[in-house]
Each structure stands twice: as C-alpha cells, then as structure tokens.
Structure 1
Amino acid sequence: MGEQSAGGPTEQDLLQFLYRSPVGLIDADAEGAIALMTPMAAQLLLPLAGTASMDNLFDALAVALPGLRARVAAHGPAAGPVCVAQRFAGAQRNGERATLSLSLFRAEDGRLTAVLHDATHEERRQRRRVEAAAHTDSLTGLPNRQAVQEHLAVLLAQPRTPGRQHAVLFLNCDRFQHINDSAGHTAGDALLGLIAARLVDATDAAAPPAPDTVAASLEPLARTARPLVGRVGGDEFAVVAELDDTPTAVHTLSVHLATELARPYVLGDRSMQCSFSMGVAAAIPGEDTPGRSLYHARLAMTEAQREGGARIRLFDTLMLQRTRRRTDLENDLRRAIGTPELHVVYQPVVRLADGAVEAVEALVRWQHPLHGALSPVEFIGIAEDAGLIGALGQVVLATACREFAQWRQRYPERGPRLLAVNLSRGQLPEPTLVTGIEDILRDTGMPAGALQLEVTESLAAQDEAVQMRLHELKRLGLTLALDDFGTGYSSLASLYQLPVDLLKIDRSFVSQLETSAHHRVLVEATIKVAKSLNFRTVAEGIETVGQAEILRAMDCDKGQGYLFARPLQTDAFEAWLQQRQPSWRG
C-alpha cells in the first residue's frame, strides 16, 4: 500500500483495490468498446468470448447474452440501470457450469459501467435452500414424505447386508381429529411438534438439518445405522430403521416407540395423552420400492386402527387381499344403495313380563350378487370410511318407517309399538341428520314417538358435540337408546348426563348369566341403576329360556334374541306376528 494523503486513499491504493477485487468492473462507451477492465472482469469474460473480440463488451457476451446490445439500445440515452444482477451461464469449471451475474448501468455522459461477478456459490446455496424446503416439513422440521421416500431409495439401492434388515414403521395418532376439535388447531399443531421431538429422541435419529443445507442429500445418513424420522401426513409419521435381522429387534423398537409416545404431553397448563396405531413392514433391497414399503407399513397401521387403535401390526400379504376386497366392496356399495340388493330385516323385541311384542329393530343386510348375504359388520365400516353412511342410513330409515307405518294399520293389536333403528358414528356428525329424519317422518306418516334411534355407548360418551346432537334428536319427540351398554366408556354414575330413555344390555353379558355370578351381579346392578334414572332396559342376545328367566327375575323390561326370533325378512316378520302366541318363553 502506498502512503495515504490526509484526504484519503492514494491512487495507488485505489489501483490495488481494483486489482484485488473479487468483482469484475468494466468501463465501456455507448457502443460497448471497452476502455478499462479489472483483472477479475477479464478472468470471467475471457472464457465466454471464445474467438470474439475482447475489445467490445457486446461482442464478448454475444453468445452468453445475445440480446444485450439491443437491450442497451432500447434503454435509450437516459442514465440509470439497464439490467441488475442478471444471471447467465458461464464456462465449465470442475465439471460444473459456473453461474455469472451482470449488472449494467448507463452514466449521464452515455458511457456504460458493467459489474460482473461469479454467482456460482450463491446459486448453489439458493438451490440447496429450495431443495431443503421441498424436503422438509415446515411444522415439525422433520423430513417430509418425499425425503423419506428418497432415503428409502438410497437404502434399497445398496446391497443387502448379512444379518441386518431395514424396517419401515408407520404411525398414526388415534383420534387426533378429536384433539383438534376440542383443543383447537393451534394446540394440535403444537402437539404434533412435541410428538415429532419425542420420536426423534426415542429413535436417537439425527436432528433435522438446517434450512440452508441439502435435506435431500441423505446418503450420509443412509450409510449409518441411525433411524430416519419423517412426517408423512397430517398426523402420520414414518420411521425408517436399520436393525438386526431378528423379529425381536423390530418388536423391541416398535414397543419402545409406542411406550414413549404414550406418555403425557404438556401444552401450557394442559396435559394430553395420545395413543398410536403402528404398522411395520420390511424394506428389502432388490425386492421392494420406497412406495411399496411405505404402502405396506400404512396398510398394517390401518389394520391396527380398525382393530381399535393403540396397537402394533406387522404387514402380511393377507392385508393386501383384504384391502382389495374392501375397495371392491366400496365400489359395489356405491352402486347398490337404493337397489333391492340392500334391504331391511326385522328382529322382534318382546316384553319379558308377558311375551307381548313391544318393538322391532330394523337391520340392514346386503345380498351381494357375487359374495352372497353380507352382514353389516362387513360393510358398515366401509360405508362410514367412504362417506356413504349418510345415504345408506337414509334409505334404511325411510324403508323401515314406511313398512312400520303399514304394520300399525294392519296389526293394531298384535303389531309392535316401537321401531328401533341404529345410528352409526358416521351419521351423527352430518349437519342434515335432524332435518333428514324430520322429512322421513313426515313423508312416511311415522309418528316421532314411535321411533327409537340407537347409538352405541362408546359413541354417546365421546364428546359434547355428540351429546348436543343427541339433544337435538331428542327434541323431535323420539326415543333414544344406548346400545351395547357395558362395552364402552360410560359409567353408571354418568348416565344421567345423556338424553337417553333406554339401555340395551350387551349380549356379551347376557351370554354369561347362567354360568357367571360376576356377570349376574353386573347386569342386576345395571338394571337397578337404570330404573332409578327412569330408564327402561332391553337385554340383547337372549338365546335360552334360562337367560330369559334370570332377566325377568331381575325386572329387566324387554328382551331380544334368537330365543324369540332371528332377524326376519318383511314377509316372514308379518307371518311371525300372525302366528305367534304371546309368551315370554318365546
């Protein structure tokens, strides 16, 4: 550096600064003729010029920026920027094409000043940020579905290591929607963040990468034995782990995760507890694909959910068969609603005191053209999941009300006084449920007081929204029954909070009455508490005279079961009504 004058840097200082600057500077006239350029400018421009003259800026950039001369001419003589930070491809360097940036300004005297710099590193960093964002879940910071699939692709492309296996664990939070509805989406999002952090800790997975790194570059992680944790859906997570090739290793990891995730989560002053359904599938190099491995694990998780949740299921090929059958049945069900394939059968409910027919329960059946007679167990869940339960329920209710109204006229003395129809978990949340029932009652001439709607105990005890809907239904003037009592979440002490008129004692208790003193005590206690609350009682699944005698002695009001009659087609039920002699013995 030369000596500095009192006024600032010397001319030598300025020359040294320009010579060492990492940015190229070029001074040219209005026609592009170069009068001055720094060494960096020459270094960046020379590979682009090729055989063109380095004396003219437009000529040197003719291949890289062919429209630059016309752009300057279009700008006119006014001073100001012609282009700012325009990116364009530079020369090949170390197997990678460089990215250059040009800013061009016209001075008041018409001369041009060009600022040229190498933007390769900046471009690469920006690409990494974009790529990281595309592979990272914004809520939890975990790798997203795409990143998990790419990680699996890396693993599956490697040779299989003797004594080692890759496992995919697919996890879903049971009843997460209930948490969102009751606590709000903000709390739900916070809970997902806590779940993600706990999964990472429980698997000893690598922390989520920083946003400016390449999240998709998963090869280093794939070369280790550390699991990858990702969020692959709303409340769905996946864990990809390399383990010892033994069933014990998979079992140990899955149980460990389930145990850790089941611990309470603290959100402010609130403590929440969640259960998880988990599916586990193998990822075998040379046999599986990332999509197939995730799909198999998800299928196993779905099976765990259908079995009640809070459990772990290993994938097996039978799940594929069940899924295909379920898909086929869903398509067939869409077509069958409103056709004679779906029909209603009726099972009588008798008064245990004297055997008189008190009510009749309407039950839907499906006569499938290929599979024959299907019970509701096989298709009601499909209808709920597919959003068909509302339409199906309307058809069943309308059919049953119409036929019941006819029986009231034909059999004023012998006919049932009450029609019972089940409501499924998929029907209660529907906003048109109440108005739809009102329309059916009006159209069929069915008195509201003669209709009994039945909901399962576990459904009625779920939350305030369900109980509010039950109150809306009760205001129509109909009867509400609590079905399968004893198998759900209610307690005898909380029954008074539900707007129900009748308890149906589940068949699992009735079947044990003759052999189990414990079950007799439970049933008798239920009947006594129900009567203290002015609830009537019905015992389901009565199959023997002995069961009926015990229930009558306990002062149970009504009974239903094969002892009296199986579910009957319409004509068969009418014949049963005409032939039957009143007797509580069936």
Structure 2
Amino acid sequence: MARNAVGRLETWQSRLASVLDGPGWLLVLPALTLGIYVTAGEAGLTAFCLTLPVLYLCLGRRLRSAASDKKKKNVLDRAAFADAVADHLSRARAETRHAVTYVLALDSFEALSDRYGQAAADTVIRRTGERLLAVLRNADAVAQLGDTRFGVCTGPVEHLDLETCIQLAARLQTAIEEPVAVDGINVYVSASIGFCQLSRAPGSGPEDWMRGALIALREAQNRGPSAIRAFSDQMRIAIETRDEIREDVARALEAGEIRPWFQPQISTDTGEITGFEALARWHHPRRGILLPQDFLPAIEGAGLLDRLTEVIMYHTFAALKAWDGAGLNVPQVGVNFTGAELRNPKLNEKVKWELDRFDLSPERLAVEVLETVVAGITDDVIARNLNALGAMGCRIDLDDFGTGHAAITAIRRLSVSRIKIDRSFVMKADRDPEQQRMISAILTMAERLEVETLAEGVETVGEHVLLAQLGCDHVQGYGIGRPMPFDQTIDWVKRHAAKLEDTPRIMDGKRH
C-alpha cells in the first residue's frame, strides 16, 4: 500500500512538473489567477499565491533536472552512440517496443569542401548535427560517425511501421538539405540515408542492428544522391553476393568459368544464319549462370576489362574454327568492346594477333561498339582504333542505335558497317504506328549511308515480318533464338538449316 502511494505521488509530481516546466506555463498563469479570484475571491487568490512558491520549491529539483537533461542533448561521439544503441535495444526488447537506427551520409562532400573551403565544410557538418537534434526527440540519440556520416537511434516507441520510418527519414533529409549560410553564401548539401528497424536487424546484437543500417546506406549511395533505403535480408544477400563476386572474378577469368554464349542473327531475305553475337556468361560453381550485369561492374572495378575481352575473343575464335570444322556456315561473330577497351592503344595489334593465332580472316569478327561511345566522340585513340580495325577488314557494328544520338558524320568517319537498331524501337512495332515510323526513318538513313541494319530484341513473328517488309537486313532476339552455350550451337544451326529446306520459297513468281 505504502509503495503504491509513493508511486502515485511520484507520478503526480512528474505530471505537475511537466505542467510547470517551460514557457507554456507563463501563458496560462494570468488566466488561472483571474479565474481563482473570480471563483474564490481574495482569500483564494492569497492561498494560491502562497502555495505556488511551495510547489516550485518542492519540485525545483525535478525541474532543474529536466532542464539539465535538455542541456545535455548534444551530438554524441562514436563510442557514446554505441552505448546508446545498446541501451535502446535492450529497453525496446524489455518493453516489447520498437526502434530504428539511421545512418546518414552527406553526398559529394569532398566536392563541396574543394569548392567552398574546409571552414565552410566544418560549418555544414556542425549545422547538420544541430538540425538533426532539432528534428528529433530528447529520447533519440544523434552521433557523428565520421567526417560526413551521422547516426540516429530512436528511443523505444509502441508503434513504428515501415512507412513511419520512411517519413522520419524524409524529415531528416529535409532538415539537412536546407541551405547553410556561410559568409553570406548559401551552401546546399544532400544526404543519402539507410535505416534498419530493430525487428528486421540481421542479428541480435547492437552491432548487427547498426550493420543493417550501414548496408542500407551503401545501397542508397549506389542509387544516387538523396536516396533512402530500408534494410532487408534480400539487400544483405545481394550485397554479400556482389562482394563475393568482386573477390572471385579474377580467378573465374583464369579458370575458364567466364566464356561466351552465342545468340543467332539471321537474314530477313533468305532466313539463313548471318552470324552470332558473343555474350559473356559466368558459369559460377555455386550460383549457376550469372549475366553480365551481375559481374561486369566487378570486372571493371578490378581493372580486368582487357582480360575479359581476351577471354571472350579466344573462345569466340575457337568457336568459329569449330563451326568451320563441322562444315557449318557462320560468316561472323560480334564481340562487344567497351569505351575503355577501345582506348587501349595496342588493341589493333591484340586483335590481329588473335586472328592470326586461329588463322581467321578479319571479316569474321564484328567489333560491336555502343552508340553512346561513338556519339560526340572526341577521343582520337578510339577513332584510330576503330578505323584501323575497319581497314584491317573487321566489321564495325554500332550497337543500341537510337539511344546515343550519334551524328551521321561520326558513322561515316568511323567506317561503320552496320547499325543495330535498339530493342526499344522494335518492341510492339507490329502494332504501334509510331514505332514503325521511327524504324522506317532509321532504315532510310542507313540505306542512304550504305550501311546494313540489324534489329535487336525481336520476340514475335509479327515483329519479324514487319521488319522484313520495311527492309531491315538482319534480325536478332528471343523470337529467333536465345543465347546458348557453344555446345548447343551446332545442333541449333543444323535444325535451322533443315527448317529452311522444308520451307517453300517464292522466287521469280514460282514456288520452289
């Protein structure tokens, strides 16, 4: 009984202290005084005036403690923040409540420092911490985790769903992205944010909780400035996969796990095979077949693009020799070259050496280069390499045409043999008149420039028929044949040839 009475007294003191604390009390005091005088007269007012100082005296320590707690609210260092995260985690679990950690990183901060100076950068960092404190509650912890990173850990609350977490992240972002005045100049910054709800943390400890937020931040930074990302198990698996791939890619190249698959290209006139495109695939021992988008960034980051080209060329030329040996007519194979590879001053010599090694003539190789690489080209090394390869006899294919705004003069200057119309123009072209007009314009231009055309991404019979009617020379896509490993190509070529033999043709008005 006594314990309950003490508890109720403490609760009453706490509530009364919260009423008497802060400027709001000063607003209601005049009205309260007048009300007491009207209802209780002069005696009541006298009693109130005598009681009020006693209340302040009794509650003074609590009020001073509350004021002191507010003054203590500041930006923590890394160690203090780790303690706060651990404390919030244990309290949230003990009380069956929810919490979330955020990690925020200022975008392009090095450029800001270079432009405005270190003093301005320091001001931005300080103001960022102050703004985060202003947006958050006293129960929330804020810390500076590095030169450009801040951490936030919310105190436990009863309800905290994903949408609420995203809304709070947006509030933090808005506060940070307000301009900072430095010497009369407004400096603007943006922030990427990753967060992890306690209920979704990748482990049970505070370090795991923070790790989830850091993983989400990494994904947000990959998505561009001002991105917000929430941690999920799928995100963790994807990032761990990318890290593993980055570490494993050099070994895979040397072990022969990365090699080309081949997608057929056929003539719209005769239906015969006019070539293949070599597309890199990684035969991963545990993850199965990986597509280029899964491992090309890792290869580029490791500086192994040149080695990848060597590997793909080797297997491509070996395939050409094997098809020749089997008596199959495969005129050429296209190999993709990136802008970085085309800047290699020794590229021409390397290609010539590989062709000689397999005793192949240069016209068996089609050098595929993205239109975006050619558009507005100013790099003399790329121009020299493409022209040298063309002069040698290699075909030059301009890939994904229609996406990079390549000038007609560039097409002529670089000895382009064929333009490959991007799949975005081909999709549903048999049903979309606007698509048809775009394709017709490209084909007319190609005819005037005397270059061949190939349509990519052909998936239906209707698209194939339309492209043939419009005058496109070659087609490629799932509707013709999917990319396949070399050991499936020989049977595919034989089946395709047999199908052509069984198909009646109309020539010179006669059926053959």
- Relative to the length of structure 1, the TM-score reads 0.55
Contact 2:192 2:228 in 1 (8 A): yes
2:467 paired with 1:554: no
**1:299 and 2:218 are equivalent in the alignment:** yes
Residues 422 and 457, structure 2, Cα contact 8 Å, conserved in 1: yes
State the match for 1:473 in structure 2: 386
Which aligned pairs between 1:360-371 and structure 2 lie closer than 5 A?
360-371=276-287
Tell me the residue number matched to 2:370. 456
Cα gap change, 1:295 to 1:426, in 2 (>3 Å)? farther
Which residue number in structure 2 is paired with residue 398 of structure 1? 314
Corresponding residue for 1:169?
104
**More off after superposition, 435-444 vs 241-250:** 241-250
Counterparts of 1:229-378 in structure 2, within 5 Å, are 237-238=148-149, 246-254=165-173, 278-281=192-195, 287-288=206-207, 292=211, 295-304=214-223, 309=224, 312-317=227-232, 318-378=234-294
SS of residue paired to 1:475: helix
Pick from 422, 430, 438 the counterpart of residue 506 of structure 1.
422
Deviation of 1:166 (Å): 6.0
* Larger strand share, 1 or 2: 1
Does the Cα contact within 8 Å between 1:542 and 1:548 map onto a contact in 2? yes
Counterpart code for 1:314: R
Q: CA deviation at 1:560?
A: 0.9
| 1:531 equivalenced with 2:447 (yes/no) | yes
Decide whether aligned partners of structure 1 residues 451 and 463 sit closer, same or farther in structure 2, where only a CA change above 3 A counts.
Answer: same
Q: 1:502 Cα shift? A: 2.3
Instruction: Report the secondary structure of 1:442's partner residue.
Output: helix
Q: Deviations over 1:89-119 (max 9, x none)?
A: xxxxxxxxxxxxxxxxxxxxxxxxxxxxxxx
Alignment of 1:61-210 (within 5 A): 151-158=77-84, 167-170=102-105, 173=108, 192-194=114-116, 205-206=125-126
Larger mean CA deviation between 398-407 and 239-248 belongs to: 239-248
Give the whole-Å Cα distance in 1 for the aligned partners of 2:412 and 2:175. Answer: 39
Structure 1 residues 194, 418: closer, same or farther in 2, change over 3 A?
farther
- Distance in 2, Cα, partners of 1:544 & 1:221: 57
Deviations 1:500-525 (A, max 9, x none): 33221222332221232222222222
The DSSP-based 3-state class of the residue aligned with 1:454 is: strand
Distance of 1:197 and 1:509 partners within structure 2:
52
Tell me by how many angstroms 1:400 deviates: 0.6
Find the partner of 2:351 among 434, 437, 454.
Answer: 437
> Shift of the alpha carbon at 1:546?
1.2
**CA distance in 1: counterparts of 2:376 and 2:178, whole angstroms:** 24
Counterpart residue type for residue 251 of structure 1: A
Q: Deviations over 1:335-367 (max 9, x none)?
A: 322435333322221111221222221223233
Q: 2:361 corresponds to which residue? A: 447
Asked if structure 2 preserves the Cα contact closer than 8 Å seen for 1:540 and 1:560, the reply is yes
Are the structure 2 counterparts of residues 356 and 537 from structure 1 closer, same or farther at C-alpha, using a change threshold of 3 Å? Answer: same
Q: Would you say the 8 A contact 1:156–1:283 is kept in 2? A: no
SS at match of 2:77: helix
1:247 deviates by 2.3
| Displacement of 1:558 | 0.8
Deviations 1:269-290 (A, max 9, x none): xxxxx99894423598983489
Residues 153, 290 of structure 1: 8 Å contact kept:
no
Displacement of 1:461 after TM fit? 3.8
Q: Would the alpha carbon gap of residues 280 and 565 (structure 1) be closer, same or farther in structure 2, given more than 3 Å must change?
A: same
Shift of 1:331: 3.7
Query: What's the TM-score, normalizing by structure 2?
Result: 0.62
**What is the CA–CA distance in structure 2 between the aligned matches of 1:278 and 1:462, rounded to whole Å?**
33
* Range moving further from structure 2, 250-259 or 348-357: 250-259
8 Å CA contact 2:376–2:407 kept in 1: the answer is no
| Alignment size in residue pairs | 390
Contact 1:384 1:426 in 2 (8 A): no
Q: What is the rounded CA distance, in whole Å, between the counterparts of 1:239 and 1:505 in structure 2? A: 47
- Equivalent residue letter for 1:510: V
Q: 1:447 to 1:319 in 2, by over 3 A?
A: same
Q: What secondary structure sits across from 1:206 in the alignment?
A: helix
**Gap change, CA 1:565 and 1:242, over 3 Å in 2:** closer
Q: 1:402 to 1:538 in 2, by over 3 A?
A: same
- TM-aligned CA distance change 1:424 to 1:349, over 3 Å: same
Question: Does structure 1 retain, via aligned residues, the 8 Å contact 2:132–2:175?
Answer: no
Contact 1:492 1:526 (8 Å CA) reproduced:
no
For structure 1, which runs of at least 5 residues remain unmatched after alignment?
1-148, 177-187, 209-217, 267-273
2:268/2:468 contact within 8 Å kept: yes
Q: Secondary structure at the match of 2:472?
A: coil
Percent of counterpart pairs with the same letter?
22
- Unpaired segments of 5 or more residues in structure 2? 1-74, 93-97, 137-141, 156-163, 506-512
Amino acid at match of 1:530: A
Kept in 2: contact 1:167–1:280 (CA 8 A): yes
Counterparts of 1:562 and 1:293, CA distance in 2: 40
Question: Is 1:415 aligned to 2:335, yes or no?
Answer: no
